[in-house]
């Protein structure tokens, strides 16, 4: 039995899709436990590029079953579209390869409209949401007025539960036709029915049968609604502990927590970002790293790697090993900075992430400059091949954090991956 949780250690977009794809080879199940189609994974296989929002990248392997567990908020039209797109790209998507939790909450048109209305009302304090209705769907879940996947299967129940929600917040009575929504969403439910299961039972039976399972978090630690830079966060818990809740699996079943860390840092949407670069280096990282949102197409804000953030992520997730991604993007830089501390306005040096957003926002980054390398590392497949300063960069991160780096990704393709690095 191997049960791993895989999490992003930054503000999302760390390259989790590629790492899940690499690990999924030989893994029996890949499980999504939170978030929704606000996430975006780009996975490159051969000549094909797959853009996934809801379905785990395990779907690309015939021997792997992908599970969308109870903690996810599911937009049924989006998942049906994603299934079709995958089929059109030659990937088989059938009920033995994809399972959907019967108790995952559903995103409705109401939620998408509320998302943009709430954002418009925020004036000064915009979050920069993806506009996919994620926050409002979780709002209804916690308010206990949500619609769950199993409700889509029963027309009368669906109508009764829809009427319970406060549609007046978005629509006036004459603006919507509830029967039309019931028909549309019941229709989606019937299409999804063959895939719907008790996902906790399904996953636990697999674990008990000795199968291997990866539980994949979407977004990243700093976007966690509890542990992130609140309120500039998403509305779910990407941290590893949430895998237990979001998939209905006991904590003692989890063996390893893998943190995925980009060799530099990015953020989409609003909120403070200490190591953000507004100069030509930021532009270079954005261009070379292709740092544009998979879901919204927005340019990502870019900056140097922040080890204070990484140390914090290691603590709140209990990370046991790190996969470092996009190291090749740093090729050709004379010098590379890493943030090791923050300096407060009072001149105090911090090496722990401050939970007070006012403190964090006003901190200056304290950098260590490490030598860069001029070589193109994108075709290197063994750690020993890397230039000395690239090795030193990886080893610096391992020694600062005290956590092993098990994989370094040097390109988008599966083969552009170096395994088993530091001790
Ligand atoms: P929401 O999740 O759409 O409510 O957006 C809340 C915040 O999380 C915004 O700053 C988004 O840009 C950010 N966000 C949501 N999903 C992702 C992701 O997959 N990668 C990076 N940022 C994300």
Higher-confidence position of 1 and 410: 410
User: Cα torsion for 84, 196, 96, 218, to the nearest 10°?
Assistant: 70
Q: Which residues contact 208 (CB under 8 A, 6 or more apart)?
A: none
Best probe residue, ligand 1, of 268, 293, 299 (max atoms within 8 Å of C-beta) = 268
Best probe residue, ligand 1, of 9, 122, 234 (max atoms within 8 Å of C-beta) = 234
Mean pLDDT in the chain? 94
Distance 139 CA to ligand 1 centre (A): 16
Which atom from ligand 1 is nearest to the alpha carbon of 236? 2
- Render pLDDT for 41-81 as a digit per residue (tens, 0 to 9): 888 888 888 989 999 989 999 999 999 999 999 999 999 99
Contact 58, 29 (CB under 8 A): yes
Domains of the chain and any CATH numbers: 2-100+197-257 (3.40.440.10), 105-192 (1.10.300.10), 261-419 (3.90.170.10)
Q: Is the pLDDT of residue 119 over 80?
A: yes
- Residue 42: predicted pLDDT: 84
Closest residue to atom 9 of ligand 1, CA basis = 129
Best probe residue, ligand 1, of 218, 219, 272, 276 (max atoms within 8 Å of C-beta) = 219
Which atom from ligand 1 is nearest to the alpha carbon of 270? 10
Query: Residue range 232-247: average pLDDT?
Result: 98
Closest residue to atom 11 of ligand 1, CA basis = 129
Catalytic sites, residue numbers: 13, 41
Distance 14 CA to ligand 1 centre (A): 13
- Render pLDDT for 311-343 as a digit per residue (tens, 0 to 9): 999 999 999 999 999 999 999 999 999 999 999
Of residues 301, 136, 313, the one with CA closest to residue 234: 136
DSSP assignment string, 160-222: HHHHHS-GGGT--GGG--HHHHHHHHHHHHHHHGGGEE-HHHHHHHHHHTT-EEEEE--S-GG
Q: Which of 122-131, 328-337, 348-357 has the lowest mean pLDDT?
A: 122-131
Q: Which of 36-50, 158-172, 250-264, 302-316 has the lowest mean pLDDT?
A: 158-172
- Residue 105: predicted pLDDT: 98
Query: Which secondary-structure segment (H or E) carries 236?
Result: none
Of residues 210, 290, 203, 285, the one with CA closest to residue 248: 203
């Amino acid at each position: 039995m191997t049960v791993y949780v895989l999490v992003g250690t930054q503000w999302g977009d760390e390259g989790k899709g590629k790492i899940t794809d690499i690990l999924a080879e030989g893994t029996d199940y890949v499980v999504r436990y939170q978030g929704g189609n606000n996430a975006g994974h780009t996975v490159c296989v051969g000549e094909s590029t797959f853009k996934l929002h809801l379905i785990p990248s395990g779907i690309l392997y015939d021997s792997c079953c992908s599970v969308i567990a109870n903690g996810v908020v599911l937009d049924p039209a989006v998942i049906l579209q994603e299934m079709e797109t995958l089929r059109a790209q030659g990937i088989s998507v059938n009920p033995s390869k994809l399972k959907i939790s019967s108790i995952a909450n559903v995103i409705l048109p109401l939620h998408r409209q509320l998302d943009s209305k709430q954002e418009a009302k925020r004036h000064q304090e915009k979050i920069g949401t993806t506009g996919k209705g994620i926050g409002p769907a979780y709002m209804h879940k916690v308010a206990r007025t949500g619609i769950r996947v199993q409700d889509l299967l029963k027309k009368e129940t669906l109508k009764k539960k829809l009427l319970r929600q406060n549609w007046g917040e978005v629509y006036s009575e004459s603006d919507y036709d509830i029967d039309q929504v019931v028909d549309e969403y019941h229709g989606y439910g019937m299409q999804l029915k063959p895939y719907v299961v008790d996902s906790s039972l399904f996953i636990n039976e697999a674990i008990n049968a000795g199968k291997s399972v990866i539980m994949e978090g979407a977004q990243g630690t700093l976007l966690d609604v509890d542990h992130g830079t609140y309120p500039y966060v998403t509305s779910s818990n990407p941290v590893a502990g949430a895998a237990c809740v979001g998939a209905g699996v006991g904590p003692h079943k989890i063996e390893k927590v893998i943190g995925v860390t980009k060799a530099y840092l990015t953020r989409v949407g609003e909120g403070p970002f200490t190591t953000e670069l507004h100069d030509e280096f930021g532009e270079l990282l954005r261009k070379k790293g292709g740092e544009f949102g998979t879901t919204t197409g927005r340019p990502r804000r870019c900056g140097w790697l922040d080890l204070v953030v990484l140390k914090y992520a290691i603590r709140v997730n209990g990370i046991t090993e790190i996969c470092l991604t996009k190291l090749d993007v740093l090729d050709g830089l004379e010098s590379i900075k890493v943030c090791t501390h923050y300096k407060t306005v009072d001149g105090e040096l911090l090496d722990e992430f401050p939970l007070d957003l006012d403190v964090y926002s006003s901190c200056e980054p304290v950098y260590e400059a490490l030598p860069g390398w001029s070589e193109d590392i994108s075709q290197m497949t063994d750690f020993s091949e890397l230039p000395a300063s690239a090795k030193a960069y990886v080893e610096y991160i391992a020694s600062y954090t005290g956590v092993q780096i098990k994989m370094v990704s040097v390109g988008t393709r599966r083969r552009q991956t170096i395994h088993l690095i530091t001790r």
